[in-house]
A and B are shown apart, each in its own frame.
Chain A
Amino acid sequence: MEITKKYRAGTLVTEIIVALVGLIFLVPFYFLFVNSVKSFGDILTNSASFPVSFEWSNYSKAWEATKFPAAFWNSLIITVVSNLLLALMSAMAAYRMVRHNTRFNAVLFTMFVAAMVIPFQSVMIPLVKVMKVVTDTLGITDSRIALIICYLGFGIPMTVFLFHGFIKSIPLEIEEAATVDGSNSYGVFFRIVLPLMKPMIVTVIILNTLWIWNDYLLPSLILQGADTRTIPLATSAFFGQYTKQWDLALAALVLGILPVIIFFLSMQKYIIEGITQGAVKG
């Protein structure tokens, strides 16, 4: 939608105005980064200026106090395992539901779609109780596994829905040819259909990663003990302890947001595509 392809004087004015808005958008990050390397006194006297002396020890203190490596590891393992299982299970379910549209599967799919409207707050109170029963019965002692189980449940409706829409666009002939060549259903799915679904797999992994990595409320209800904390939980616990202790708090916040910013900048193309795909199908 480019009405004018030429760069006119008006375009320059637009460019300057939008760039200024962009700078305003970045101001919070400026304050965050420059003050995270200042001493506490310097933050209080002038928080807008560039740092005069660099207080890198803020970072080492925040690194230790938040147990950053452990928190990072917890966030990583929970996000990765949930993502892989979610993508696989949902792709399989959606495939079967599209190709064998029995009454049972149709009703189930309708329930998945309907469940997407349920706010998390409407299930969280009994969920805590259900999860306690589940972990006691199965003998799960690591609350990170319990959390992954929760993510599988909450992620299923949306992920199945996205795959469902995508599989409908895959022509049936390819699978029929493979069946004639002697593949069974499992072979057709894993060797033919799954590779074809790659674009949608990337989309659901991006969307679910941003959700799970940044989630706070669910982990805060399920995770037990300080050494299972994810990055949002560790940062929040630290922030609660050191309110107004801005030098350490800001360094902890920078550590907390850095992984996801690096993830975004390196995967930007896929993330933008994933969001567009997710929105169009959703």
Chain B
Amino acid sequence: MNRKKTSQLLQQLVFVGPSTVFFILIIMIPFLLGLSFSFTNWDGVADKVAWVGLDNFKKIFMDDPDFGAAFWFTTKFTVIGVILTNVLGFFLAYFLTKPLKTRNILRTVFFIPNVIGGLLLGFIWQFIFVKGFAAIGEFTKLPFFNLPWLGDEKTAFWGIVIVFVWQTAGYLMVIYISSLGNVPQDILEAAEIDGANRLQILRSIIVPLIMPAVTVCLFLAISWSFKMFDLNLSLTKGGPFGSTESVAFNIYKEAFQNNRYGLGTAKAIIFFVVVAVITSVQVKFTKSKEVEA
């Protein structure tokens, strides 16, 4: 009996031990340390740490217009980015489940931007916005292409939105395609025989039946856009004049450029709470809309 217990304990250690150690070391400890650092004025040099209570949080809420602006930018970006990329991803999937001759190659085309990391994509698009758009503008005479794009506060926002949608729509398309493939053929045929038009079929049958995919796609798009960092860094570095600074970028700057680690971790904790609340509310809400076929 005792030998069996030892063997069980050994198995638990061998199978679960390594994962647990790395999890604790890389996520749990830094997360808990972050909680406690957020009440200090730590500047990265260990021997000068002092407990400051809620001062960091007070400062963030009362006296940090940049952080407020970053939150507002991120919120705007998330709302617009999530809607656009989901609408585009869904309609690409909707049309690419029809018997098109080029559908396989088109699926590949729409997905490709997603395999390239946000950093390199941002660099590529810098060239497109500066040189590419200018060339197209000269050719087509459309004022759209002659805007200053990354150089101006208003258009820089939309510049990042364009690249974000271009990058992520293909991924959501893949998920929507697989979900559309599970919509039962007989229901669609029955609706068509009953005289439902295409819009009615789309709204009353297809959309309710693919709600599980909507849950997943909204979740992914919200977490990508709310945590956006790479595109922000490579496209605008938060500029012009800090107008396109995301929360993730603001935290990064606070810690690693201004060396205010205590303040940075306080912001990171607030960021965590907001992300956790938003994503769990969204998943709860869309899950409640799911129906069975």
Contacts and interface: CB of A to CB of B under 8 A. Distances in A.
A binds B: yes
B123 interface: yes
Given A90-B19, A92-B14, A265-B108, 17 more contacts: A3-B189, A15-B102, A32-B124, A43-B131, A96-B11, A117-B276, A118-B27, A121-B271, A124-B252, A126-B33, A127-B30, A129-B33, A130-B29, A261-B115, A264-B112, A276-B178, A280-B178
B211 interface: no
Q: For the complex, would chain B's binding face be called helix, strand, loop or mixed by DSSP majority?
A: helix
B216 A25 contact: no
Pick from A97, A108, A156 the residue with the most CB of B within 10 Å: A156
Interface stretch (A54-62, A174-182, A249-257): A249-257
19 contacts: A1-B97, A1-B185, A1-B188, A22-B102, A32-B124, A32-B127, A48-B139, A111-B28, A112-B23, A117-B280, A118-B276, A123-B268, A125-B34, A126-B31, A134-B25, A156-B23, A157-B23, A215-B117, A279-B174
Interface string B126-145: 01100110111001000000
Interface residues of B, number: 98
Contact of A153 (B12, B22, B92, B185): B22
A213 B118 CA distance: 11
Interface stretch (B78-86, B149-157, B226-234): B226-234
B235 interface: no
B113 A25 contact: yes
B23 A27 contact: no
A239 interface: yes
A207 to B, nearest CB: 11
A18 B95 contact: yes
Given A1-B97, A15-B102, A217-B229, A153 B16 contact: no
Contact of A154 (B27, B128, B271): B27
Interface string A72-107: 000000000000000001101101110010000100
Contact of A260 (B26, B30, B109, B115): B115
B171 A15 contact: no
A224 interface: no
Contacts of A120: 227
A7 B264 CA distance: 58
A89 B188 CA distance: 45
Nearest to B94: A1
B72 interface: no
A265 to B, nearest CB: 8
Q: For the complex, would chain A's binding face be called helix, strand, loop or mixed by DSSP majority?
A: helix
A181 B102 CA distance: 53
Interface of B: 8, 11-12, 14-16, 18-20, 22-23, 25-31, 33-34, 37, 92, 95-102, 106-113, 115-120, 123-125, 127-128, 131-132, 134-136, 139, 166, 171, 174-175, 178, 180-183, 185, 188-189, 192, 198, 201, 206, 213, 216-217, 220, 226-227, 229-230, 233-234, 247-248, 251-252, 255-256, 261, 264-265, 268-269, 271-272, 275-276, 279-280
**In the A-B complex, the 7 residue pairs with the closest CB atoms:** A153-B26, A214-B117, A96-B15, A48-B135, A126-B33, A93-B19, A122-B272
Contacts of B106: 18-19, 22
Given A118-B31, A235-B120, A125 B12 contact: no
Given A154-B26, A213-B117, A236-B119, A25 B110 contact: yes
Contacts of A100: 8, 12
A236 B34 contact: no
A130 B272 contact: no
A19 B132 contact: no
A270 interface: no
Contacts of B115: 210, 214, 260-261, 263-264, 271
B19 A122 contact: no
Contacts of A4: 98-99
A87 to B, nearest CB: 11
A29 B178 CA distance: 27
Contacts of A183: none
Nearest to A232: B119
Contacts of A111: 23, 28
A1 B183 contact: yes
Given A97-B16, A272-B174, A47 B22 contact: no
Given A126-B34, A260-B116, A28 B201 contact: no
Contacts of A115: 23, 27-28, 31
Contacts of B119: 214, 216, 232, 235-236
Pick from A1, A28, A189 the residue with the most CB of B within 10 Å: A1
A149 interface: yes
Contacts of B128: 27-28, 31
A48 B33 CA distance: 52
Interface in A171-207: 185-186, 189
Nearest to A215: B117
A246 B34 CA distance: 41
